[in-house]
Chains A and B, each alone.
Chain A
C-alpha cells in the first residue's frame, strides 16, 4: 500500500521533469555512486526548508531531464539526528519519482532495515548493493536475484569505486524512472513508519538462505592495523605524530602555495587591470583595485591551500582514520562537548582557519558543528603568526619572544577548549546524537575520488565566498580612504578606532594599534602593513618605534587581543556559508570579541599591578 501523494516536481526547479533521491547509510560509498550516476557534474544547492545544502545534478534519461539528489547519509529513517530530520523533511516536501537506496553489501544483514523502511513508504525503489568487492573479501555471500524476488525491489550488486556493475545498475534505475510517471511526496512520514514497524524476525526470514555472513571471529587486515593504531598505549602517540605530519604538510606545502597565486593575480593587476582602468576616474580605479579586486585576489590566494587541505582531509576521512581519531580523543574531547574530529580540525586551523571551518562538515550533529566552528578561529593561524613574530621581536629584548610565542600557542588551545567546555552546556550547542560512531574498515581512496572532492570544494569555495569577500574588502577600502584626502587617524577607520579607544585604553592598546585591529579584520597579516601606513614608517623603523613606545605588557596585550578578537573576513565568510545563519555568524563575531577583551583586560590590568610591573 502506498502512502504517497502525487505532487509536482516543478515548484523548486525549472526545466526538470523528474527527480530521484539517493538514500543510504554513511560509509556505503553513496556519494561515489552518485558521481558515477551523474558523471560527476554535481553542484551543491540550497533547498528551502532544509538546514543543509544537498548535492544535486541533472541528467538526461530517455529525453527527460531528471534531477538526481544525494541525500545525507542516515542510519535510520525514523531517527532523531539532524540528518535524519533533513531526509524526512525532504521526502515530505519535495516530490520524487523514485528513491535509490545504496546499501553496503558487507553489512547487508543490518542495512536491510533501512531498505524495508523505504519500501514501506510506497515510493518506487531501486537498491544497489555497493562495496561488492569488499563483501567478497570479507566472505559475505548473497544471492541478489533471490533477495530481489523476495523483496519485490530490483537489487544490483556494484562496486562504485571500480565501476563494476554500475552500467547495469544505472540501466535499472533509468528503467524504473521511465515507468514512474508520477512524482510523489510522503506526508506524515513518521506516522507511516510508526504504522509499519519492522520486527527483527521479518529481516531474519527475509535473509534466511539467501545471505550468508562470515564467522564472528574472522580477522581482516583492518583488525591487524587497528591492533597498532588503536593500541591503548601507542594509539595516542601515533595519532599525535600523524597530526604533526598533517600540520607540517599544510605549513610547508600549503602556505607557500599562496605565493604563485599572488604572483599571477599581481601580474594580472599590473599588466591588464591597471592599464584598462587608467581611463576611468581615480575614484573608480581605487574602488576596483583596492576594494573589489583586492578582495577577490585574497580569496584566490586561499584556493591552493583549500585544495591541499581537502586532499589531506579526503585521505584521513576516506581511509577511515578520522573515525579512529574520534575514538582515540573522545576521553578528552567528549568532556568539552566535542569529539576527536573537532580536535583534528582545531589542529588544522593552526595552518589556516578557513579550510578547517569547511572541514567541520564531517561532524553531522549541527550543535557540535556550530560549537567547533566557534572555537576554530582561536587557532593561531599562520597569518597571526606573522603579526606576533613582528610585534614580539619589537617589544622583547633577545630571545624571550620565543617563550611569549609559545605561551600564545598555549593560550590558543586553552581558550578554545575552555570556551567549548563552557558553551557546550547551552542547548544550542548540544549534540542530539548519541556517540555511537562507526569504524569502517581501512580503505584506500582512489586518486579519482580524492581529486573529484578537491575540485568540488575549490569550485564551491570561490563561487560562494566571492560576493562576501568583494563586499567586505570594498567596505574596508571605503573606511580607510574616506573622507577624501584623509590619512591615518583622520579616516573613517581612524575615527572608528577613536570611538573604540575608551574601550581599548584599559587593555594598553593605543589608537594606532586599535585602527590596525580594525583593518586586520580583512586579513590578519595586514595588521603590520596597516601600522606602517598609520605610523608613516618603514618596517624596520616601525619596529624600533614600537620597541621604544610600547611596554612589553602593552605588546603582549595587543598580541593576546589579536589572537582572539575576531575571525578574519575569509573565515567569517566560510562560517556564514557553512552555517547558513546570520544569527550564528553574529555570535561568531561577538563571542570572540568579548573573550578577547576580557582576557586582555585581565592580563593587562593584572600584570601592570604586579610589583615588578614592566
Chain B
C-alpha cells in the first residue's frame, strides 16, 4: 500500500519510493528527510480540500507532503 492509504494517527514502515514520476530527485530528497526503507512514518493529519499530508518521520522530523507525492511512497503496516 502507499502512504496515501494510511489513516490519521497510524504508524507504518517505509518500504520504498517510486521514481516513476519525479525520477531520482524525489528519492534523494525524501532520503534526506529520513524517508528510507524500514523507517517508521506516522500520518498526523491531512489538510482540508485535498491539501498536503502532515507526517512524522522517525520521532523528531515532521514534514508536509503533497498527496501526489505521497502516492509514490510504498509502506508496510507494522507488525
B69 touches A218 (CB 8 A): no
Chain A residue at smallest Cβ distance from B70: A436
B47 contacts which of A25, A80, A223, A232 (Cβ < 8 Å)? A232
Contacts of B33 in A (CB 8 A): 75, 110, 436, 438
Residues of B within 8 A of A313 (CB): none
Docked pose: A188 CA to B60 CA in angstroms: 34
A437 at the interface (CB under 8 A from B): yes
Q: Given B36, B60, B66, which contacts A213 in the complex, CB threshold below 8 Å?
A: B60
Closest to B38 in A: A200
Per-residue B-contact encoding for A234-248, CB less than 8 Å = 1, 0 else: 011000000000000
Q: Are A432 and B25 in contact, with the CB atoms below 8 A? A: yes
> Chain B CB within 10 Å — which of A25, A222, A230 has the most?
A230
Interface size in chain B (residues, C-beta < 8 A): 38
- A436 and B64 contacting across the interface, CB-CB below 8 Å: yes
**Given A107-B61, A140-B60, does the pair A114, B22 have CB atoms closer than 8 Å?**
no
Q: Is A374 an interface residue (CB 8 A)?
A: no
Decide if A426 is an interface residue (CB 8 Å cutoff): no
Contacts of A226 on B, CB cut-off 8 Å?
A: 44, 54
Which residues of B12-29 have CB atoms within 8 Å of chain A's CB atoms? 22, 25-26, 28-29
- Determine whether the beta carbon of B25 is less than 8 Å from that of A106: no
Cα–Cα, bound, A215→B42 (Å): 12
Does the CB pair B51–A328 fall under 8 Å?
Answer: yes
CB neighbours (8 Å) of B45 from chain A are 230, 232
> Chain A residues near B49 (CB, 8 Å)?
331-332
Counting contact residues on chain A (CB < 8 A from B), the size range is 35 or more
**B34 and A107: CB pair below 8 A?**
yes
Q: Do the beta carbons of B51 and A331 come within 8 Å of each other?
A: yes
Known: A75-B33, A110-B34, A113-B31. A435 touches B59 (CB 8 A): no
A483 within 8 Å of B by Cβ?
no
**Chain B min CB distance to A537 (Å):** 52
B60 and A79 contacting across the interface, CB-CB below 8 Å: no
CB neighbours (8 Å) of B34 from chain A are 107, 109-110
- Whether B66 and A79, one on each chain, are in contact in the complex, defined by CB atoms closer than 8 angstroms, is no
Complex contact B30–A436 (CB within 8 A): yes
Q: Which residues of A contact B29 (CB under 8 A)?
A: 75-76, 79-81, 433-434, 436
* Binary contact readout A71-108 vs B (1 if CB under 8 angstroms, 0 otherwise): 00001101111000000000000000000000000110
Once bound together, how far apart are the Cα atoms of A502 and B59, in whole Å? 66
A327 within 8 A of B: yes
CB A521 to nearest CB in B, in angstroms, measures: 39
List chain A residues, Cβ under 8 A from B65. Answer: 435-437
Chain A 446-466, CB-CB to B under 8 Å as 1, else 0, gives 000000000000000000000
Confirm or deny: A530 has a beta carbon within 8 angstroms of a beta carbon on chain B.
Answer: no
Cβ–Cβ < 8 Å partners of A78 in chain B: 28
Whether B52 lies near A109 (C-beta < 8 A) is no
Are A331 and B11 within 8 A (Cβ)?
Answer: no
Give me the interface of B with A, judged by CB distance under 8 Å. 11, 22, 25-26, 28-34, 36-38, 40, 42, 44-52, 54, 56-66, 69
Which 10 pairs show the lowest CB-CB distances between chains A and B? A110-B34, A331-B51, A75-B32, A331-B49, A76-B32, A80-B25, A327-B64, A435-B66, A439-B62, A437-B64
23 A-B residue pairs with CB within 8 Å: A25-B32, A80-B25, A138-B60, A200-B36, A200-B38, A216-B11, A216-B40, A217-B42, A218-B59, A232-B45, A236-B48, A330-B47, A331-B48, A331-B49, A331-B51, A436-B29, A436-B69, A437-B65, A438-B61, A438-B62, A439-B64, A440-B62, A441-B62
